[in-house]
Structure 1
Amino acid sequence: MTTLKVLAGPRAFSHIRAHGLNPSDVQSVICASGAAKTLTTIGLDKMILGQWLKNIDHSVDLLGTSAGAFKLAAACRTDTLGWLDQFANIYSTQTYADKVDEPDVRDIISWAPQELIDAVMADGGDEEILSHPNFRLHIGTVRSFNLLASENVKRQKQAIAKAALLSLIDNQSLRGIAERVVFSDPRSSKALRPIDNYPTHNVTLDKKNLGPALNASGAIPVMMHGIEIGTEDGIHLYRDGGMLDYHPIPSQLWPSNEGIVLYPHFYDYLKWRWFDKFYPWRKVSASKLDNVVIFAPSDDYVKSLPYGRIPSRNDFKRFIKNEPKRLEVWQTAIQRSEELGEAFLELVQSERIADEMVLLK
């Protein structure tokens, strides 16, 4: 069974064909939103971030939104392997079964990310994350305006419904209700210059805003409370960074980005905006992924997982009366993901990657 797919943009494809793929080539690693889907690649993440890039002598920028940001923050702890295991364990064992009496569903769902963030930042974690010798963390969020800035669920739903309809026309449907805010490690040399015409702000990441920024990055509208964060231009309400950058596209945020961008991902394609996931024909084109290499589980691998699919947030509903079964399914996916990491290492060390990769189209 083929375990891992390798898909490369034109420039990355040519480079790997000529030189293979080496740690010194990598300038960025991106992890996307996706809730429980991110558990699918945890073994791959561990191999890339905790072993293969362990002894690099240059800085690597890590950009994530929502669960992808949580995972990358964990990877910035000194014990990268141990904390990625911790991330997977805490995320997979969260349960809402003992909180069903809460009057507001947002109170039920909002506690879980905070528990995970508190764990990752505990015992000097914030210091480790912000002083990692090689990794430079970037956390994608959105600043909310108008109806989306209301904590009234009905008003949020109105904003989302209107944006969803407008998304049928173009990718500017969130204009006027959301602006991109990326909280970035001040040591990074990356210049944030998005080319999608959305108002964008770059905020320096520090001990004070690290936790709130992570929390905001995964604060799904309607389902979760927004997060208030104060910056130089005042206090604003922040929500899920995946709304604008569901699967962050590096060339749209860092247009002058050099080097190879690794994208360990649960799919073999990218969806830029939050609403794009509802439209099968909307996939990011190769022209926007010139120096990107996507590593994703193969179709055969996914079919071999329990129920023939990767974990999903919908599993909370699917197994609502059988939490042990959900945990078993998710833990199996986590354990099996080590196979993806092993496949990655074999490909890069044997240099078979040049033969196995497919040119993105």
Structure 2
Amino acid sequence: MDSPITIHLGARARAHIAREGLSAADIAILPAAAGGPKGLILNGIDQWLFGAWLPGAPRERRLIGASIGAWRMAVSAMADPVAGHQRLAWHYAHQTYPDKPSAAYVSNTVRGLLDEVLGGHAHEVLAHPGHRVTAITARGTGPLAKAGGVRWRELAGFLAAAAGNAVSRARLAGALERVLFHDARDDSGWLRERFDALPARFVALGADNLRDALLASGSIPLVLQAVHDIAGAPPGAYWDGGLVDYHLHLPYWRDPGLVLYPHFTDRIVPGWLDKSLPWRRAGAGTHDPMLENLVLVAPSASFIARLPNAKLPDRNDFPHYGQDHAARIRDWMFAIGESERMAEALARWVERPDLNVVAPSLP
């Protein structure tokens, strides 16, 4: 039977596994992409990783994510990560909205979702003995710094940002900067030296800003309201971290350990605005030193073909199913249940890594 997962290795990761195999103690960083409902397909892997495999080799690990990826990493640092991931998947899948909800309505709904997921556990995220969580957000600069929550100004600002980004990703720096809300015990040294054209700021996570940082990290422009006045952070409007780091094309090579990246696709797209620009794909057919120590795990085409509608859950399902919430929730929960097959396949592979079934290189 076809495997439900595909595995892709950077050159350094492949050499290490060929020489020594793969153990939980090797894993230093776990990234988690933005992507909304697509992230639900990793629920089974998340439960196995953080509930079974990684606890067997406790060490300091950096958990970094944007949007739903930041939420996944936050619950991974809870005292009971399995329950946290189950809670996140259930509440995310059971979101319901009226036809054409306002941005304020969606923001209030998502804020309530986060309250259900974090309720009584936020302090655990900040105090985990080994896990160091970072949530990526995008802060408006230039025209977007002056949008002031006015919809037409936001729309004009993001259209200008998209036009500039189409010419060069460096031009995105005129509209957005990445702000990383990080565990106060982690200096995020591997990210502080500039690695692309986007400026970065670093803000320590605390009890006073964790929820707002997570909400901002998932606040899709024009769909949700920007988050303002986050404690400890520079003033301004904060939006979805996927705008600047959609699939987290980060300088992983700076860490001597391995990076385990459960992802919903075998492609790494730097920013959300790069989705329709195939030449922006990380590597794009050439050697990419940023990915040398990466172990990327993604659902296989045959696995996806067996899901409802032969695709991953995504935001387009909201208009597709319309007000038939029960049908969408049924299909999303089915996909979440199927994700356990991905976890089982990954568990078998890490026990006896077979390089013969690994893709020739990262795409």
TM-score for the superposition, normalised by structure 2 = 0.93
Matched residue SS, 1:167? helix
1:138 matches 2:134: yes
Contact 1:73 1:120 in 2 (8 A): no
1:116 matches 2:118: no
Contact 2:173 2:197 in 1 (8 A): no
Question: Which amino acid is 2:141 matched to?
Answer: F
Matched residue SS, 2:292? coil
> Could you tell me which residue of structure 2 aligns to residue 185 of structure 1?
183
Map 1:170-249; keep pairs closer than 5 Å: 170-188=168-186, 190-191=188-189, 192-193=191-192, 194-230=194-230, 234-249=234-249
Matched residue SS, 2:129? coil
Q: Which runs of 5+ in 2 are unaligned?
A: none
Question: Which amino acid is 1:111 matched to?
Answer: N
TM superposition shift of 1:281: 3.6
Contact 1:164 1:173 in 2 (8 A): no
> Could you tell me which residue of structure 1 aligns to residue 268 of structure 2?
270
TM superposition shift of 1:73: 0.8
Matched residues in 1 for 2:96 and 2:206: separation? 30
Match of 2:313 among 288, 296, 311: 311
> Could you tell me which residue of structure 1 aligns to residue 41 of structure 2?
40
Question: Which amino acid is 2:272 matched to?
Answer: W
**Count of aligned pairs:** 353
> Could you tell me which residue of structure 2 aligns to residue 75 of structure 1?
76
Contact 1:141 1:217 in 2 (8 A): yes
TM superposition shift of 1:221: 1.2
TM superposition shift of 1:4: 0.7
> Could you tell me which residue of structure 2 aligns to residue 90 of structure 1?
91
TM superposition shift of 1:232: 5.3
Matched residues in 2 for 1:304 and 1:248: separation? 28
Alpha carbons of structure 1 residues 208 and 58: separation in structure 2 relative to 1, 3 Å:
same
Name whichever of 138-147 and 268-277 sits farther off: 138-147
Match of 2:323 among 321, 324, 335: 321
Alpha carbons of structure 1 residues 130 and 220: separation in structure 2 relative to 1, 3 Å:
same
Matched residue SS, 1:206? coil
Matched residues in 1 for 2:233 and 2:59: separation? 33
Alpha carbons of structure 1 residues 147 and 35: separation in structure 2 relative to 1, 3 Å:
same
Contact 1:46 1:80 in 2 (8 A): yes
Matched residues in 2 for 1:76 and 1:158: separation? 38
Matched residues in 2 for 1:265 and 1:101: separation? 30
Alpha carbons of structure 1 residues 56 and 326: separation in structure 2 relative to 1, 3 Å:
same
1:106 matches 2:108: no
Question: Which amino acid is 1:213 matched to?
Answer: A
Map 1:146-157; keep pairs closer than 5 Å: 146-149=142-145, 150=147, 151-157=149-155
Alpha carbons of structure 1 residues 51 and 211: separation in structure 2 relative to 1, 3 Å:
same
Question: Which amino acid is 1:81 matched to?
Answer: V
Matched residues in 2 for 1:189 and 1:49: separation? 23
TM superposition shift of 1:277: 0.8
TM-score for the superposition, normalised by structure 1 = 0.93
Alpha carbons of structure 1 residues 350 and 234: separation in structure 2 relative to 1, 3 Å:
closer
Identity %: 32
Matched residue SS, 2:208? helix
> Could you tell me which residue of structure 1 aligns to residue 16 of structure 2?
15
Q: Which runs of 5+ in 1 are unaligned?
A: none
TM superposition shift of 1:349: 1.0
TM superposition shift of 1:255: 5.7
Cα deviation 1:255-307 (Å, max 9, x = unaligned) = 62221111100001110011111223431115121111110010100001111
Name whichever of 241-250 and 140-149 sits farther off: 140-149
Contact 2:268 2:281 in 1 (8 A): yes
Matched residue SS, 1:174? helix
Question: Which amino acid is 1:180 matched to?
Answer: R
Question: Which amino acid is 2:266 matched to?
Answer: D
1:347 matches 2:349: yes
Match of 2:164 among 163, 166, 171: 166
Contact 1:32 1:265 in 2 (8 A): yes
Name whichever of 111-120 and 150-159 sits farther off: 111-120
